[in-house]
A and B are shown apart, each in its own frame.
Chain A
Amino acid sequence: MTILLIIGIIIAAFIGVPLFLILGSATILGYFLAGEQLAGLFIEVYKIATTPIFMAIPLFIFAGYTMAESKTPQRLVDLSRALIGWLPGGIAVVALITCAFFTAFTGASGVTIIAMGGLLYPILLKEKYSEDFTLGILTTTGSLGLLFPPSLPLILYAVIAGNAYSSINGDPGVTVDKLFLAALLPGIILVVALSIYSIFIGNKIKVNKTPFNWGRLWTALKEAKYELPLPVIVIVGIYGGFFTASEAAAVSAIYVLIVEFFIYRDISIKKDLVRVIKESSVLAGGLMVIIGMAMAFTNYLVEREVPFMLVNIMKAHITSQTTFLMVLNVLLIVICMIDNFSAILVVVPLIIPVANEFGVNPLHLGVIFLINLEIGFLTPPIGLNVFISSYRFKKNFIEIFKATLPFYIILVICLLLITYIPWLTLCLQK
C-alpha cells in the first residue's frame, strides 16, 4: 500500500500536479506512517513567518518585475552598447552582461528571456549574427547571473545550507554575504568565457560593429543614471554593514518603486502598480508555498536519518573527494533539470552531510551547486530555459538545444574548472 502511494505521488508529480502539493502530500504520508501528528507539517510552514531572510524573495522579485516592465532593459542595452558595442562581438557581450544583471534580480524565472529576449533578438540578427548563435546565447543567458547578488537561488541556498550545517556541527558555514563573495569570481569567469567565445564568433563572421562615440556613451549614461546605482547600493549596503541581505530587498524595492514609477514614469502607479504587484506575487507565492512544504519534507527526511543513510551508501562506494565531486556534478545536473527551487530545497539538505564527510568546503559546494543549476536550466528534455525560449521565439526545442550546445559545452568546462580549483571560490574570503 505504502509503495503504491509513493508511486502515485511520483506519477502525480510527473503529470503536472503542482509541486507544493506533491511535497505536502509526501510529508503527510511520511508523518502518517511514522504515527506522528499531521499538524506538525505546519510548524515548518510557519517558519516562513519567523525566518528573516524570506522577505527577500517577494521583494527582490517585485523589484525585478518592476524593472522588466519599465524601460530598464532598453536603457541597459543602450548603455552597454555604447560602452562595448565597438568590440568585435561586442553586441553579444552586451547581451551576456545585461541578461546576467536581470537574472540576478529575477532569479532565472524566465523573466530574462521574456523581457530581454524580445529586445536583443532583432538587434543580434541585425548585426549579422546567425539565428543559431542568437537563439543559443539568449537561451543561455536566461540563467546566467545566478551567481551574482542578489540572486534568489543563491539566497535560498545559503539559508537552507546554513540550517543544514548548523545541525551537523553548530556552525552555519554558509551565510548569504559569504556566498555572494564566494560566487563572484566564478560568476565573472562564466561571463568572460562566454564573452571570449562570442568575440571569437563575431570576428569570424565579421559582424557589424557600433563605432565608439563619446557623445552616445554620455547620453546613455545620463539615461540610465538612476538605475546604475542599484547594484552598488545593494553591495555597499550589505558589506558596509548598513543593512542585512533581507533588508537589502526592501531597500531595492523602494528604490526601484521610486525610480521607475516617479522619476522615469515608464509605468504608471495608477495603471501598473497593482498589476506588477500581482504578477510578481504570483511567482513569489508559488515559490513560498513550495519552500514551506519542502522545509517540512526535509525535516521529515532528517528525522528519519535519511542523510545519514546516504552518507553510508556513498562512503561504501566512493573513497576520494575528486570522485565524489565528479559524481556530484553528474547527479546535480540531472536533479537541477527538474525544478531549480525544489532542487535546492529538497536536495541540498541531503547532500550537505555527504559533502561534509568528503571535506568539501560549504561555500565551494554552494557555488558548484549554483553552476549546476545554471546548466540544468539548459539541459534537455526538461531544462526550463529551453522551453521558455522555444515558446518565446516560436522554435522547436530541439532546434533551441542544438543552438545552445556550444554555450553548454563552455559552461560545463567552466564548471569543471571551478569544481577542481577551489581557490577560485575561496580566494575572496577573509
Chain B
Amino acid sequence: MLSKSRDLLLRLERKLFVFEEWALVAGLVIMIVAGTMQVVLRNFFNTGVEWADILVRSLVLWVGFLGASLATRKAKHINIEIVSKIITNPTLAKIRLRTVLAISLALTITLLKIAIDYTIIEAGNNMYAFLRIPTWMVFIIVPISLFLIALRLLIELLLGEPIEKEVLSNNEVIPQ
C-alpha cells in the first residue's frame, strides 16, 4: 500500500518535473534575450519596450521559485550543516534526516496555505503587472513551487533520501 502510493507520487512528480524543466529553461532564456534586447534598443536605437523590463523582473520570480523546487529534488537547499557534519552514526543520521524532512514538510504546507490566500487576495485586486497580465498570474508560481516542494518533501520522507542523488561531474576526480 505504502509502496504503491509512493510509486504513484513518484510518477506524478516525474510528469510535473518535465514541465518544470522546460518552464525554467524558457524563463531563463527569455530573461537573457529580453534583458540584452533592452540594452541594445536603448543604446543603438534610443528606444525600448516598456513592458519588457517588468516581464524580465517577473521571470526572476518564476526562475527563482522553479529553481527552488528543483533544489528540493536534489536536496540542495541552503541550510546550516553543522549537525549533519558531526553525526556519523548511520541510525542517528537517518533519524535526523527524517525529522528535518517532516518539519520542512509541515512548514512548507503552512507557507503554501498562506501563499494561496495571498493569490486569492491579489486576484481580487484587479491589478496588472504588464500588458494584460494581472499580478496574481505572476505570483501564482509561488504557490505552484511550494506545492512542488511539499510533494517532493513527502516523497523524500517516504524514500528516506533525495529524489535525484548527487552525481559527480566529469572533472570531479583529482589526479594524484
Contact = CB atoms under 8 A, between A and B. Distances in A.
Interface of A: 12-21, 24-25, 28, 38-39, 41-43, 45-46, 48-52, 54-55, 57-59, 62, 69, 114-115, 117-119, 121-122, 242-243, 246-247, 249-251, 253-254, 257, 273-274, 277-278, 281-290, 292, 338-339, 341-342, 381-382, 387, 392-394
B35 A277 contact: no
A124 to B, nearest CB: 12
A18 B78 CA distance: 6
How many interface residues does chain B have, given as a range?
Answer: 35 or more
Given A42-B142, A50-B57, A55-B56, A289 B65 contact: yes
* Residues of B contacting A: mostly: helix
Contact of B32 (A19, A24, A254, A285): A254
Closest 5 CB pairs of A and B: A285-B67, A250-B35, A288-B64, A281-B67, A18-B77
A251 B60 CA distance: 16
Interface of B: 21, 24-25, 28-29, 31-36, 38-39, 42-43, 53, 56-61, 63-71, 74, 76-85, 96, 99-100, 103-104, 107-108, 110-111, 114-115, 117-118, 121, 129, 135, 138-139, 142, 169, 171-176
A250 B31 contact: yes
6 contacts: A12-B100, A24-B111, A38-B117, A54-B57, A58-B31, A69-B169
B28 A281 contact: yes
B171 A15 contact: no
Contacts, number: 220
Contacts of A43: 118
* Residues of A contacting B: mostly: helix
B114 A41 contact: yes
A254 B28 CA distance: 11
Contact of A20 (B68, B114, B121, B176): B68
A20 B149 CA distance: 12
B3 to A, nearest CB: 27
Contact of A286 (B21, B67, B100, B175): B67
Contacts of A14: 80, 82-83
A59 B29 CA distance: 10
Nearest to A56: B60
Contact of B57 (A13, A55, A114, A341): A55
Contacts of A277: 24-25, 28-29
Contacts of A253: 32, 35-36
Contacts of B96: 15-16
Contacts of B118: 39, 41-43
A285 B65 contact: yes
B39 A251 contact: yes
B86 to A, nearest CB: 9
A62 B33 CA distance: 13
A117 B63 CA distance: 29
Contacts of B84: 15-16
Contacts of B65: 285, 288-289
B64 A285 contact: yes
Centre residue among B32, B35, B85, B142 by max chain A CB count within 10 A: B32
A162 B73 CA distance: 34
Contacts of B83: 14-16
Nearest to B141: A49
A401 to B, nearest CB: 13
